[in-house]
């Protein structure tokens, strides 16, 4: 029997086809990346900045200044759960998702030690069903997930915001800052390479972020503060931190 080769029918089919271009690369975002990320998280003693059990300094600042009200929160690419734990400690009802079983296992251990009630999901955030999500969310928090997406998956990201972010809710996004960290290649160039890859992650300018999220209202966009090793907060200046709000109507 011949294999059907005319199988592109929906936008989702196109996105999945484009995903396969990046399949040989370790920094791809799809579910096949779980094995690579499990290896990344295997040695917890490695000097990886975001392995620390500290929340992002910008997240702490938003709450200290009353910029985001407490409510339901979704932590995208939660890793070992440092920001999810902080949100739970501040009174949020938290869902947290990551591709890596090792990361989720570590986060669950931290949550048990802290006595935190967090719903963890292992898998693709874009594939979560309405029953798995407990939104709509008052806050969607992303510390380092967005810059690991291939350009075409911004479509999925924006669709997730449409489905899951409550009217008046906030998106807090932390990503590589152009000129400091990440690939500067134009979007189209990733697809022209013989073996497409993300070069460790994409760098963004303030203008590109504002364009991508032009339907959201900018509350703040700045470089993350450089936090010293003895600080109770995480901060690296090669990252942008931006807080955006969805209009009420």
Backbone angles phi, psi at 172, to 5 degrees: -110, 120
Domain spans of the chain, in order of start:
11-245
| CB count in 10 Å sphere of residue 9 | 8
Q: Give the pLDDT confidence of 190-230 residue by residue, as tens digits.
A: 998 777 888 889 999 999 999 999 999 999 999 999 999 99
What is the pLDDT, as a whole number, of residue 196? 80
Q: Which CATH number does the domain 11-245 belong to among 3.40.50.150, 3.40.1380.20, 3.40.50.300, 3.40.50.2300?
A: 3.40.50.150
Instruction: State which H helix or E strand residue 116 sits in.
Output: none
Look at residue 54 and tell me whether its pLDDT is greater than 50.
Answer: yes
How distant, in Å, are the alpha carbons of 79, 146, 235 from that of 44? Answer: 12, 23, 19
Total count of residues recorded for the chain: 249
> Average pLDDT, stretch 78-98?
97
Q: Give the pLDDT confidence of 6-36 residue by residue, as tens digits.
A: 889 999 999 988 888 886 544 444 555 676 6
Q: Tell me how far the alpha carbon of residue 159 is from its chain's centroid.
A: 14
């Amino acid at each position: 029997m011949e294999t059907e080769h005319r199988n592109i029918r929906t936008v989702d089919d196109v996105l999945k086809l484009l995903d396969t271009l990046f399949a040989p690369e370790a920094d791809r975002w799809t579910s096949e990346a779980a094995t690579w990320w499990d290896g990344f998280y295997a040695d917890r003693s490695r000097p990886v900045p975001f392995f620390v059990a500290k929340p992002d300094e910008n997240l702490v600042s938003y709450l200290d200044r009353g910029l985001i009200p407490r409510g339901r929160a979704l932590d995208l690419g939660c890793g070992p759960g440092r920001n999810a734990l902080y949100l739970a400690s501040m009174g949020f009802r938290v869902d947290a998702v990551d591709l890596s079983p090792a990361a989720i296992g570590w986060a669950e251990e931290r949550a048990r030690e802290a006595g935190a009630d967090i719903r963890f999901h292992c898998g693709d955030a874009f594939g979560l069903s309405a029953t798995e999500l407990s939104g709509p969310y008052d806050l969607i928090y992303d510390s380092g997930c967005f810059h690991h997406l291939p350009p075409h998956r911004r479509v999925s990201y924006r669709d997730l915001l449409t489905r899951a972010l409550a009217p008046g809710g906030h998106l807090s996004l932390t990503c590589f800052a152009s000129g400091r960290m990440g690939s500067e290649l134009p979007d189209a160039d990733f697809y022209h390479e013989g073996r497409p890859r993300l070069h460790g992650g994409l760098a963004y300018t303030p203008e590109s972020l504002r364009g991508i999220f032009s339907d959201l209202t900018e509350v703040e966009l700045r470089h993350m503060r450089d936090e010293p090793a003895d600080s109770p907060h995480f901060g690296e200046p090669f990252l942008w931190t931006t807080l955006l709000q969805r209009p009420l109507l």
